């Protein structure tokens, strides 16, 4: 049993709840985002959404979504910013491999274990789909915070743009659409809360 004192809630309804358990930070998503079996590469429709409108075709895997998004973001960009964008992608992919398994049921945990034993790179990103990416992004902006303000700003800008891309490409459905809007508003508030950029002196 987790005591109320161990729980730290952020003010907004769509925010995340951070729970410290044995010095390990776990993440639960507030209203309508409890643990459930997400869509996976071999299982396009999630059992946990039987009462919601459902897509008739499988959505791309997280790996495919991230590859397309960041490739487009790097197009025409050079110098330090190109590297900064790549750094955010690498950080997000690494975080997905760390956090993603916590959103899997026992069956898909075993599938993930086989993929890892086979030496597959980024197995979580190849297994999970867009619905799970929303929870991963919520955790990413809450727990993986760059020290440098400039990198934090870029991280939040890219996550907000990625959420918009998921919406434009219609890769989420049902209650996930409402959650996406909540999450995007939260990310934009985080960016607005950063110190104002300093003007460069001529």
* Domain housing 140: 60-192
Per-residue pLDDT reduced to its tens digit, 16-38: 333 332 223 334 443 345 444 45
Q: Are 117 and 52 in contact (CB under 8 A)?
A: no
| Selection from 101, 129, 135, 106 nearest residue 116 by Cα | 101
Residue 3: inside a domain, yes or no?
Answer: no
Residue 33: inside a domain, yes or no?
Answer: no
Predicted local distance difference test score (pLDDT) of residue 104:
80
Residue 55: inside a domain, yes or no?
Answer: no
Beta strands in the chain (DSSP E): 7-9, 16-21, 24-29
Residue 175: inside a domain, yes or no?
Answer: yes
Q: Are 112 and 124 in contact (CB under 8 A)?
A: yes
Residue with tokens 């895997």: 61
Residues 6+ apart with CB under 8 A from 196: none
Residue 48: inside a domain, yes or no?
Answer: no
Residue 9: inside a domain, yes or no?
Answer: no
Predicted local distance difference test score (pLDDT) of residue 47:
33
Mean pLDDT of 195-200: 66
| Selection from 158, 167, 168, 170 nearest residue 73 by Cα | 158
Predicted local distance difference test score (pLDDT) of residue 63:
95
| Selection from 44, 52, 43 nearest residue 178 by Cα | 52
Per-residue pLDDT reduced to its tens digit, 134-180: 999 999 999 999 999 999 999 999 999 999 999 999 999 887 999 99
Mean pLDDT of 48-77: 75
Predicted local distance difference test score (pLDDT) of residue 120:
84
Whether 119 has a pLDDT exceeding 50, the answer reads yes
Residue 40: inside a domain, yes or no?
Answer: no
The number of distinct structural domains making up the chain is 1
User: 16-21 and 24-29 as β-strands: parallel, antiparallel, unpaired?
Assistant: antiparallel
Predicted local distance difference test score (pLDDT) of residue 76:
92
Please list, residue by residue across 3-19, b when 16 or more beta carbons sit within 10 angstroms of its beta carbon and e when fewer do.
Answer: eeeeeeeeeeebbbebb
Residue 12: inside a domain, yes or no?
Answer: no
């Amino acid at each position: 049993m987790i005591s109320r004192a161990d729980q730290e809630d952020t003010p907004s309804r769509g925010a995340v709840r951070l729970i410290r358990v044995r010095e390990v930070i776990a993440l639960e998503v507030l209203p309508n985002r409890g643990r459930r079996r997400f869509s996976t590469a071999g299982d396009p429709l999630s059992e946990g959404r039987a009462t919601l409108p459902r897509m008739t075709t499988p959505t791309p895997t997280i790996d495919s979504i991230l590859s397309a998004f960041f490739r487009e973001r790097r197009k025409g960009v050079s110098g330090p910013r190109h590297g900064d964008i790549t750094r955010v992608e690498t950080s997000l992919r690494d975080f997905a491999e760390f956090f993603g398994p916590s959103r899997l049921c026992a069956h898909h945990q075993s599938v993930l274990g086989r993929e890892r034993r086979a030496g597959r790179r980024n197995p979580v990103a190849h297994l999970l789909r867009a619905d799970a990416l929303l929870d991963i992004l919520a955790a990413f902006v809450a727990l993986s915070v760059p020290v440098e303000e400039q990198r934090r700003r870029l991280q939040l800008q890219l996550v907000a743009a990625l959420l918009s891309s998921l919406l434009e490409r219609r890769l989420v459905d049902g209650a996930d659409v409402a959650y996406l809007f909540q999450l995007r508003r939260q990310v934009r508030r985080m960016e607005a809360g950063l110190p104002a950029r300093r003007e460069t002196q001529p």
